[in-house]
């Protein structure tokens, strides 16, 4: 595309989204604090762990005061919010570490996992979708579509367990979990790659069906449109028609899909990380939730919300660029 990008409208869309994000984030964090406060879990018991079983009442009361969980809900949330705005995310009770450090140590691995899976899903999904669309109703099309529908119904953690059983236990070709080999203390690229293969593969496969089905539909429709038929009539090679013309217009719906898949990707990653003991943000999220670790829980929720908002923003932006008729009003 050689035409110039509409910078003005794009910036206005971005500004609107940022302004919109502020109240959304405030509301979401308050919701997290409210839900956590209403949960039956006691943060003091979670913090004390087995030591709590022999702790004296005085000791437990002191812990409650030290952790600040005896404060009313609104005060706790306001404290958290005001210090978070200044960059202090607080300390995670369950990890015994500053929240920023917990996130710093883990987010990179989660991003690596999610990005690899997403890339694989988009590339593989597009390829399979185009191949299926080329001859709709053919054996390849039928195989790919039925596989896609089956995968769509399979939950990621179930796929994960299946993959562990097959590749790690039966075939013994890939490690069942962790970031590196158990006995190893250094992180090498080779080890990370071999340990990344299964979780990223499972996450990619769980995202795959949507891309396959959307691309197949989009490209299939495009193949029936006049410009493509025209190109074919001019005697262009089928390959050029398929990838050069049909794919380009067929990809349009996929662009929005890419943005809107972000929430699914996050929940999928949480489940996959748990199955494969991947040291990402998921384990921290689960632990934060079950031990009512307010600061960590709130920070993790903000991250997830930001990712979703960014995904939607990117989708709208891409769609607007690809199809000028849509504009940037949304």
The yes or no reply on residue 105 touching other proteins (CB under 8 A) is yes
For the segment 33-72, give every residue that binds other proteins (CB under 8 A). 40-42, 45, 47-60, 62-63, 66-67
Q: How far apart are CA 198 and CA 203, in angstroms?
A: 9
User: In the set 32, 33, 80, 106, which binds other proteins (CB under 8 A)?
Assistant: 106
Facing residues of 91 across strands?
Answer: 98
For the segment 191-230, give every residue that binds other proteins (CB under 8 A). 191-193, 196
**Do the beta carbons of residue 111 and residue 121 sit within 8 Å?**
no
**Do the beta carbons of residue 34 and residue 73 sit within 8 Å?**
yes
User: In the set 71, 97, 136, 217, which binds other proteins (CB under 8 A)?
Assistant: 97
Interacting span for other proteins (CB under 8 A) from 8-16, 220-228, 260-268, 278-286: 278-286
CB of 212 to other proteins, least distance (A): 26
Transcribe 186-217 into DSSP letters: S--HHHHHHHHHHHHHHHHHHHHHHHHHHHHH
The yes or no reply on residue 88 touching other proteins (CB under 8 A) is no
The yes or no reply on residue 112 touching other proteins (CB under 8 A) is yes
Q: How far apart are CA 12 and CA 327, in angstroms?
A: 11
CB of 171 to other proteins, least distance (A): 12
The yes or no reply on residue 91 touching other proteins (CB under 8 A) is yes
Contacts of 115 (CB under 8 A, 6+ apart): none
Q: Which is nearer to other proteins, 89 or 242 (CB)?
A: 89
User: In the set 6, 9, 68, 178, which binds other proteins (CB under 8 A)?
Assistant: 178
Q: How far apart are CA 63 and CA 70, in angstroms?
A: 10
Q: Which is nearer to other proteins, 45 or 232 (CB)?
A: 45
Can you list the alpha helix ranges (DSSP code H) found in the chain?
A: 7-38, 43-48, 57-67, 73-85, 99-134, 139-153, 156-163, 189-223, 226-233, 238-240, 247-250, 252-260, 262-275, 281-290, 294-322
CB of 21 to other proteins, least distance (A): 10
| # chain residues binding other proteins, by CB under 8 A | 67
For the segment 292-311, give every residue that binds other proteins (CB under 8 A). 303, 306, 310
Facing residues of 92 across strands?
Answer: 97
CB of 199 to other proteins, least distance (A): 13
CB of 303 to other proteins, least distance (A): 8
Q: Residue 103: name the closest of 309, 313, 306 by CA.
A: 306
57-60-62-67 Cα dihedral, nearest 10 degrees: -160
**Do the beta carbons of residue 288 and residue 92 sit within 8 Å?**
yes
Contacts of 209 (CB under 8 A, 6+ apart): 125, 148, 149, 151, 152
Convert residues 148-177 into a mask of x (bound to other proteins by CB under 8 A) and - (unbound).
---------------------x--x---xx
User: In the set 15, 31, 104, 138, which binds other proteins (CB under 8 A)?
Assistant: 104
- What is the contact surface with other proteins in residues (CB under 8 A)? 40-42, 45, 47-60, 62-63, 66-67, 87, 91-92, 94-98, 100, 103-109, 111-112, 169, 172, 176-179, 181-193, 196, 277, 279, 283-284, 303, 306, 310
């Amino acid at each position: 595309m050689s035409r110039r990008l509409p910078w003005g409208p794009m910036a206005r869309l971005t500004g609107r989204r940022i302004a919109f994000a502020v109240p959304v984030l405030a509301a979401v964090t308050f919701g997290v604090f409210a839900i956590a406060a209403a949960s039956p879990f006691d943060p003091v018991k979670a913090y004390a762990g087995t030591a709590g079983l022999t702790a004296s009442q005085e000791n437990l009361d002191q812990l409650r005061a030290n952790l600040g969980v005896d404060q009313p809900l609104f005060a706790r949330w306001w404290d958290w919010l005001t210090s978070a705005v200044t960059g202090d995310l607080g300390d995670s009770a369950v990890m015994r570490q500053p929240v920023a450090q917990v996130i710093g140590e883990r987010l990179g691995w989660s991003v690596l996992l999610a990005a690899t899976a997403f890339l694989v899903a988009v590339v593989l999904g597009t390829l399979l979708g185009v191949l299926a669309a080329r001859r709709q109703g053919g054996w390849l099309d039928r195989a790919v579509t039925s596989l896609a529908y089956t995968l769509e119904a399979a939950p990621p953690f179930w796929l994960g367990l299946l993959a562990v059983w097959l590749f790690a236990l039966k075939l013994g070709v890939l490690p069942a979990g962790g970031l590196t080999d158990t006995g190893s203390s250094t992180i090498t690229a080779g080890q990370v790659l071999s340990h990344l293969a299964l979780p990223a593969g499972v996450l990619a496969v769980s995202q795959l069906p949507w891309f396959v089905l959307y691309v197949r539909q989009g490209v299939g429709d495009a193949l029936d449109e006049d410009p493509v038929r025209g190109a074919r009539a001019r005697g262009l090679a089928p390959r050029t028609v398929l990838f050069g013309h049909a794919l380009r217009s067929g990809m349009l719906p996929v662009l929005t899909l890419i943005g809107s898949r972000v929430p699914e990707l996050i929940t999928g990653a949480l489940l996959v990380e748990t199955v494969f003991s991947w040291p990402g943000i998921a384990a921290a999220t689960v632990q934060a939730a079950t031990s009512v670790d307010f600061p960590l829980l709130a920070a993790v929720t903000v991250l997830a919300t930001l990712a979703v908002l960014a995904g939607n923003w990117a989708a709208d932006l891409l769609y607007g660029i690809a199809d000028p008729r849509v504009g940037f009003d949304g």
